[in-house]
Structure 1
């Protein structure tokens, strides 16, 4: 029995020797990360790290979408149940650190919407490949919480503070083509070529020196480890926001497909 047999919401397939695919799968919901998928996205990286038969992982979504972000039912549970809130906080923390610390190489293949927890893993991948018409958006401030899952550490490093603030504060969408130009993703290709290009990159990585590639990754990811306190602060403030009124209005506005009407700002001292 494989350790991957326990995964229900991530489809795990061995493409060829050394290469594994992880497919986020939530049919009819654009692969939104509900409670089960969020939990699995947090722990899969440790299992991959321990798997001696895997050198490279391709992360993708099913049915032509990457991931539409956090499931709104989960958001509601987090805003109403402290036990759920603390469990998801730990998962969100582990997701980011487990991707960073996974010694195996990760390639993301992003099509359609790329939001939330899926986007966190997608942008933290060692090589990120997006369709030119992919729709990348952090989404947190539109919901009424801090951009905390990953954005505070990786967006400024990839595309600079000015662009990071613009897109995170205003919750402005970025196409895959724009993301490549900004340095937010490694490559942007035609939608029809995303999976083929991801496999080409994975095969090239798979044929390389394991120690050279893994230790290069480890060294480069020290930039992200050094930003750990920034990430921890942003994540703590994000989850503090789930206890406030803005997230309830943000969620309601998304369900009702209207602009949010946030109230007066809270004291920030």
Structure 2
């Protein structure tokens, strides 16, 4: 199913100063996934991927919640067979791969619920910042399902296999302070400061070497099953990065005692 042109916009894409903000905007359902929201998110991710002027992305939700997961009313009404389930997940995986392999940083700004597929979506970002009232849950098991939207790949890489097993099999809520301790969240901010901080982080990358950012993300996504392969990948990536104008400009700025093009923004 593809969203019609007349469908309500449930995903807003705004671009300012080379930063794209993707906002899930269906607050009456706590931004839960249905087919329309899914298709519009896929469209927005494709647009960002094509637009080389966009240097970083902020992913967030409207109305005090990030995303409450799949729309159970929508899921409960489906009459589909196993082949159609695979097709449905295949459609999700298409845009998810585009997001996970995006060669630019993605910052998830999480307030309220990030449950089920919403938790998985947050894990697709490079940085997750949250408010103290945010909560996360791999709640799939509560409705007889397994984690999806890439969680089998992303969650163990963040918290380790043992903790991922516990979170997936329990389906329990993880409050913001625990999410910070587990490394799911990197920073906590008051609700009114959340989006400004997410945007400041994303905006800082407009000064970073796009080649270095891309190489770092690719190396971490690919992983390395052996030390030899890891060192080989490192040598290949550094050879490419060292030949870029961005590297030469940063070195020149350092030697001239000028501000470097990229600097991580301090939190207020």
TM-score range, shorter chain: 0.7 to 0.9
| Deviates most, 177-186 or 62-71 | 177-186
* Match of residue 20 from structure 1: 20
Does the CA-based 8 Å contact 2:13-2:22 persist in structure 1? yes
* Match of residue 94 from structure 1: 94
What is the distance in 1 between the residues matched to 2:137 and 2:95? 18
What is the distance in 2 between the residues matched to 1:129 and 1:7? 28
Does the CA-based 8 Å contact 1:77-1:84 persist in structure 2? no
The TM-score, its normalising length taken from structure 1, stands at 0.75
Does the CA-based 8 Å contact 2:121-2:149 persist in structure 1? no
* Match of residue 40 from structure 1: 40
1:208-227 deviation line (CA, Å, top 9, x unaligned)? 11111122112211139xxx
| Deviates most, 48-57 or 181-190 | 181-190
* SS of structure 1 residue aligned to 2:29: coil
| Deviates most, 127-136 or 88-97 | 88-97
1:160-179 deviation line (CA, Å, top 9, x unaligned)? 12211111101011112211
Matched, 1:8 2:9: yes
What is the distance in 2 between the residues matched to 1:84 and 1:13? 33
* Match of residue 55 from structure 2: 55
**Large movers: runs of 4+ above 4 Å:** none
* Match of residue 257 from structure 1: none
Shift in alpha-carbon separation, 1:7–1:120, aligned structure 2, 3 A: farther
Once superposed, what is the RMSD of the aligned Cα atoms? 2.3
> How many residue pairs were aligned?
219
**Matched ranges for 1:76-91 at <5 A:** 76-78=76-78, 80-82=79-81, 85-91=85-91
**Matched ranges for 1:1-269 at <5 A:** 8-14=9-15, 16-78=16-78, 80-82=79-81, 85-223=85-223
Does the CA-based 8 Å contact 1:95-1:121 persist in structure 2? no
Unmatched segments (≥5 aa) in structure 2: 1-5, 225-268
What is the distance in 1 between the residues matched to 2:86 and 2:151? 20
What is the distance in 2 between the residues matched to 1:84 and 1:9? 24
Shift of 1:113: 0.2
What is the distance in 2 between the residues matched to 1:35 and 1:74? 8
Shift of 1:118: 3.1
What is the distance in 2 between the residues matched to 1:215 and 1:6? 38
Does the CA-based 8 Å contact 1:66-1:118 persist in structure 2? yes
Shift in alpha-carbon separation, 1:172–1:95, aligned structure 2, 3 A: farther
Does the CA-based 8 Å contact 2:64-2:111 persist in structure 1? yes
What is the distance in 1 between the residues matched to 2:223 and 2:63? 34
Shift of 1:17: 1.8
Shift in alpha-carbon separation, 1:203–1:112, aligned structure 2, 3 A: same
* Match of residue 258 from structure 1: none
Unmatched segments (≥5 aa) in structure 1: 225-269
More relative contact order in 1 or in 2 (CA 8 Å, sep 6+)?
1
Does the CA-based 8 Å contact 2:103-2:214 persist in structure 1? yes
* SS of structure 2 residue aligned to 1:67: coil
Does the CA-based 8 Å contact 2:120-2:148 persist in structure 1? no
* SS of structure 1 residue aligned to 2:109: strand
